[in-house]
Structure 1
Amino acid sequence: MKTTSLDTASLKILAELQKNCRLSSNELAEIIGMSASPCWRRQKELEESGVIARYAAIVDRRKIGLLVCCMAHVSLQKHTEGVLENFEETVRLRPEVVECYETTGTADYVLKVVVRDMDAYHDFLHNVLFKLNGVSNVNTSVALREVKYETALPLS
């Protein structure tokens, strides 16, 4: 994957948009000390190059009833053709899986799963994960408390 080197102005734009992506071009330009047109052009370049992948609202999961957060460490029996693709496609389509990482170590994948309660996690585990071809083991860690949750990436 190609990385992009960014100048100071681009880094400032990214930092401010990570705090509040609803800033107008004029507001953003004023905050970073740039005139509006060059700031707008720079933001568009960051979008077109894929550095800014998308804009999103950050929703408090608890306020919409998603009270349980689990990390499912999934091990597969085999890494044969079709098994990995089927597993990855299935988790991409599941709304309760908010993050999925292929990992090193004792598990092949780590899934971050958010659900309303443990019954919903039980249903996901038994009706989805355990039914997937190739899944040999799922070891779940339940988050007791969220100590830190950030969406902004470190830019320095």
Structure 2
Amino acid sequence: MQTQLELAAVFVEVTLCDLTEPSVSRFERTVKLHPEIRQCYAISGSADYLLVIASKSIEEFSRIHREIITRLPSARKIRSTFSLRNVKVFDLR
């Protein structure tokens, strides 16, 4: 039984094992290969990257998490947060 969501945004914080140029380059190249990862930001703070994924269901995100996110090179720590609703969106263009 699928638990349907209304195309929810999932924010995934990723901390890398190290921030050497080869590790960062390999991580960023791999992220760009996956259309499921809609956006990726290098960030400051407790994580190194913030990924944005749009998911139609918990099961779909579980598959993306299992098949893609946990296999990202150099990823040491992964933390996912589901949006409950969209309050305000801005256009970066």
Shorter-chain TM-score above 0.5 = yes
More helix by share: 1
TM interval, shorter chain, is 0.7 to 0.9
Unaligned runs of 5+ in 2: none
Q: Which has the larger radius of gyration?
A: 1
1:117 to 53, 57, 69: 57
Match of 1:68 in 2: 8
Match of 1:78 in 2: 18
Q: Secondary structure at the match of 1:84?
A: helix
C-alpha contact 2:11 2:53 (8 A) present in aligned 1: yes
How far, CA to CA, are the matches of 1:132 and 1:146 in structure 2? Answer: 28
CA RMSD of superposed structures (Å): 1.8
2:29 to 65, 83, 89: 89
Match of 1:144 in 2: 84
Q: CA deviation at 1:138?
A: 0.8
C-alpha contact 2:31 2:72 (8 A) present in aligned 1: no
How far, CA to CA, are the matches of 2:92 and 2:24 in structure 1? Answer: 30
Identity %: 27
TM-score when normalising by structure 2: 0.83
Q: Secondary structure at the match of 1:86?
A: helix
C-alpha contact 2:10 2:83 (8 A) present in aligned 1: yes
Q: Secondary structure at the match of 1:67?
A: strand
Q: Secondary structure at the match of 1:147?
A: coil
Query: Matched residue pairs, number?
Result: 89
Q: In the TM superposition, what whole-angstrom CA distance separates every residue of 1:86-139 from its partner, at most 9, and x where no partner exists?
A: 211121121122211101100000011112211111111111121122101111
TM-score when normalising by structure 1: 0.52
Higher RCO by CA contacts (8 Å cutoff, separation 6 or greater): 2
